[in-house]
Every structure is written in structure tokens, then in C-alpha cells.
Amino acid sequence: LLPVLAKQQLQTSGGGFGLMLGAIGLGAVIAGIPFSMWRHRISPELVLASGTLVFAAGIWGAARVHTLTHALWLLLPMGAAWIGVMTTLNVAAQSAIPNRIRARVLSLYQLTFNLGFALASSLWGDAAARFGLVSSLTVCAAAVALSAASAMIWPVVRARAE
């Protein structure tokens, strides 16, 4: 819903949308440096839960901002949360798969992730068209926040299966 947020709520152009994407990327790059040093000191479950909650807060806040500047400040920590969650999930997936089938299973992992991303985008887009952008983003933020509990319910695999 980021393009819809940029156009409808923030009333910005393609350049403003590009800045929004850049803010997410910048947040990821800034967080990537210290995250590589902290990764061994923080449990994967904590990274997943806290990153998910930061992302949920960003979605909730994005529904309520009306200036590009405020949106950019919200998107920086969302990018940091995104990179923390994604690297943790990718490392867990790679660690759990035996060497002999890793490439095939990781291709299915990526396919499943991207298919889920596309389907969810379509569903949230439909929800925004029916119920409005702010309502959809608010419900989305709540759903994402609730999903943070999954990090505590299902532990992350740490050892390679051979």
C-alpha cells in the first residue's frame, strides 16, 4: 500500500515515492552494519519479535502521517526492522536445510515468500479500496503486531540438519 499512501495521503509524485523506498533502504543499510555485530548476542526470537513490532508501529504511524517528511522518518526504522527480520529468517532457513537439498528447498522458500507477499499485497489493496487506506493500514498493523507472538511460540532453528 506504499504507492497508495504516497499518492493519496501524502499527495506526492513518483519522486516522493522513490524517496520513501530510499528511506526504507537507508534504514536497512544503517541497521545492517551494527546488526552483523549484535546478531550473536541477541536471540533470533527477540530479533523477529522486536522487528515485527517496529514494523507494525511503522504501518500504524504511516496510516496517520500527512507529510512526506514524517513518512520518511517512519520508514527508516521500518527498513531496519525489515533487514533484521529477513536476515534472521534467511539464516534460519539456510541452517535448517541439509547441504544436499539446500538449493532446491531455498528456491521453494523464496517462491513461497514472494507468492505470499504478492497475495497479501493484493488482499490489502482490495481492503484499502473497500474500507479506506487508514482503516486497512490500521488492521494490517494490528495483524502484524499479533504475528510477533509467533516468534515466541515457534523457536528459530539454530542447528544445521544433516
The string of DSSP codes covering 10-74 is S---HHHHHHHHHHHHHHHHHHHHHHHHHTTTS-HHHHHHHHHHHHHHHHHHHTT--SHHHHHHH
* CA pseudo-torsion sign 115, 116, 119, 122: negative
Measure the CA–CA gap between 82 and 55, rounded to whole angstroms.
Answer: 7
Greater pLDDT, 90 or 155: 90
Q: What percent of the chain has pLDDT over 70?
A: 96
Measure the CA–CA gap between 46 and 85, rounded to whole angstroms.
Answer: 10
Task: Please tell me the predicted confidence (pLDDT) of residue 158.
Answer: 61
SS3 content of the chain, % helix, strand, coil (to 5): 80, 0, 20
- Burial label for 33, CB within 10 Å (0-12, 13-18, 19+), is exposed
pLDDT digits 0-9 by tens, 32-78 = 888 878 877 888 888 899 999 999 999 999 999 999 999 999 999 99
DSSP code at position 42: S
Measure the CA–CA gap between 98 and 60, rounded to whole angstroms.
Answer: 39
161 pLDDT exceeds 60? no
Task: Please tell me the predicted confidence (pLDDT) of residue 40.
Answer: 79
